[in-house]
Amino acid sequence: MNEDEFKALIAKIEKTIGTSMDDKLKEAFKDLDPKVLKEINDNSEELKKSVESLEQLNKDLKTAQKNQSDEIENLRKELNSKGGADTTLRGEVKRLLNENSDALKSLKDSNSKENLRMTTKAVGNMLVSTNVGAGVIQAEREAGITRIVRRQPFIVELVNTGIISSNLWEWVQQANPEGDAAMTAEGAKKAQVDFDLVLASAQVRKVTAFIKVSKEMLDDVALIEAEINQELTELINLKIDTQVLGGDGLGQNLVGILENATAFTAGSFAATVSEANNADVLRVAINQINIALFQPNYIVMHPSDVTAMELEKASDGHYILPPFRSVDGTTIKGINVIENIGVTEGDFLVGDFTKSGVRFREGLVFDVGYENDDFTKNFVTILAEARLVHRVKSNHYPAFVTGNFATAKAALEIV
């Protein structure tokens, strides 16, 4: 194809398309293979039809867009004009059947583009109680877990503590003393005394607790591992506290302070106190320890018994405050009063708590592991335990006095 033939082809294409071609398009055609240009020339009629088809499609799209806008506007006007019309499902269906029967029939035609809209919910006020479903409103949750309230351990804080490297705590103490020193004349036989040495011991005991929990719970429940650790710690420490105070020594129990304490006795104060009260009982108990040659340093009582002492009044209504008791009730004869519900209400314990000893073979430790088929079931066992021993030497039993307030007051009261 020579240059004249190319110019003639371009002119023919311009005439076919119905517009002038710009210089860039002409440049593009110059680079085309002559065979392609010839193909365009041979099919110019088809090219013209394609262009006309595109123009018609564009017109149809514009018409459809305008019709859609008109339909939306009509629907808006219809909604605004409804007012108090019956908008229930039944009312809407009835209205459509009456007003749009032709439109409904046209829906049977598979090529129909008609559609109908129904409103089935009456307009009304929105309330949380009627319009909001369960779980829609999100609660505000506090962080952490509210724990069960338990009493605070206290006895171990009052006694002397330490560690032990064996499972058996032994000590040697005097027993069965005989004779006494005597004033001796010149040349006379001197006074002879003797005593026995006795080996005593206390066995280390173990306190344990464990929780078995699934791995999923450990992964999915926030803070659960810390909560489990705290729970086990509380339970172990409370059990130790209970055992040191009141263990009976049977089986695996420790021998507690109350098991070794001396019972209250009125002694020379029996039937000598008028209107005996709780404060009188404690003062006599202190004296009982003093004459046994020990120095009491704590009184432990139930909080209700402490309150009862503070509420005591004379027959004329004024409060009773013995001179040996502090105004706030926290000390009696200079000895601190410790309140704790670990002591049975109505009972008391006065003592020299330095004579009570606790030794830990193993402090509180945690172990995590599997048991039996836990591994295949995804369970984990968290175990807490402690090993310890407690003792009050038999020569120190009189350092502790325990009793019941009602019984002790009756022993003091003037008959």
* SS3 track for the chain: CCHHHHHHHHHHHHHHHCCCCCHHHHHHHHHCCHHHHHHHHHCHHHHHHHHHHHHHHHHHHHHHHHHHHHHHHHHHHHHHCCCCCCCCHHHHHHHHHHHCHHHHHHCCCCCCCCCCCCCCCCCCCCCHHHHCCCCCCCCCCCCCCCCCCCCCCCHHHHCEEEECCCCEEEEEEEEEEECCCCCCCCCCCCCCCEEEEEEEEEECEEEEEEEEEEHHHHHHCCCHHHHHHHHHHHHHHHHHHHHHHHCECCCCCCECHHHHCEECCCHHHCCCECCCCHHHHHHHHHHHHHCCCCCCCEEEECHHHHHHHHCCECCCCCECCCCCECCCCCEECCEEEEECCCCCCCEEEEECHHHCEEEEEEEEEEEEECCCCHHHHCEEEEEEEEEEEEECCHHHHHHEEEEEHHHHHHHHECC
What are the tokens at 263?
Answer: 């019972």
pLDDT surpassing 90 at residue 46: no
Domain map (residue ranges) of the chain? 3-106, 155-179+193-412
Q: pLDDT tens digit string along 355-385?
A: 999 999 999 999 999 989 999 999 999 999 9
Residue 14 has pLDDT above 80, yes or no: no
Yes or no: say if 93 and 121 are a contact pair by the CB < 8 Å rule.
Answer: no
Rounded-to-integer distance, Cα 199 and Cα 175, Å: 10
* Average pLDDT of the chain, as a whole number: 84
Identify which of 359, 351, 335, 360 has the alpha carbon closest to the alpha carbon of residue 396. Answer: 351
User: Residues 280, 284, 287, CA angle at the centre, nearest 5°?
Assistant: 145
For the chain, how long is the longest CA-to-CA vector? 167
Q: According to the model, what pLDDT value does residue 74 have?
A: 73
* 305 vs 135, more confident: 305
Q: Which pLDDT tens digit goes with each residue over 76-129?
A: 676 666 555 555 556 655 665 666 556 555 555 555 555 555 555 566 788 888
How high is the pLDDT of residue 65?
A: 77
Sorting pLDDT into bands at 50, 70 and 90, what band is 294? Answer: very high
Residue 353 to residue 199: CA distance in whole angstroms: 22
Distance CA(230)–CA(209), nearest Å, equals: 12
Distance between CA 346 and CA 75 in Å, rounded?
A: 85
Question: Angle 275-280-284 (CA atoms, 0-180°, nearest 5)?
Answer: 135
CA quadruple 305, 308, 314, 320: dihedral sign: positive
pLDDT at residue 43 greater than cutoff 80: no
Share of the chain above pLDDT 90, in %: 54
Which pLDDT band holds residue 3 (cuts at 50, 70, 90)? Answer: low
In this structure, are strands 357-369 and 262-263 parallel, antiparallel, or unpaired?
A: unpaired
pLDDT of residue 117: 58
Going by pLDDT thresholds of 50, 70 and 90, the confidence category of residue 161 is: very high
Lowest mean pLDDT across 77-86, 158-167, 279-288: 77-86
Distance separating alpha carbons of residues 78 and 100, to the nearest angstrom: 14
The rounded percent of the chain whose pLDDT value lies above 70 is 76
Q: Residue 327 above 90 pLDDT?
A: no
Q: Mean of the pLDDT values across residues 295-315? A: 92
- Quick: pLDDT tens for 204-246: 999 999 999 999 988 888 888 889 999 999 999 999 999 999 9
Instruction: Quickly state the pLDDT bin for 179 (edges 50, 70, 90).
Output: very high
In tens, the pLDDT along 123-156 reads 678 888 888 888 888 888 888 888 889 999 999 9
Q: Which CATH architecture has domain 155-179+193-412?
A: 2-Layer Sandwich (3.30)
**Token pair for residue 347?**
């009972």
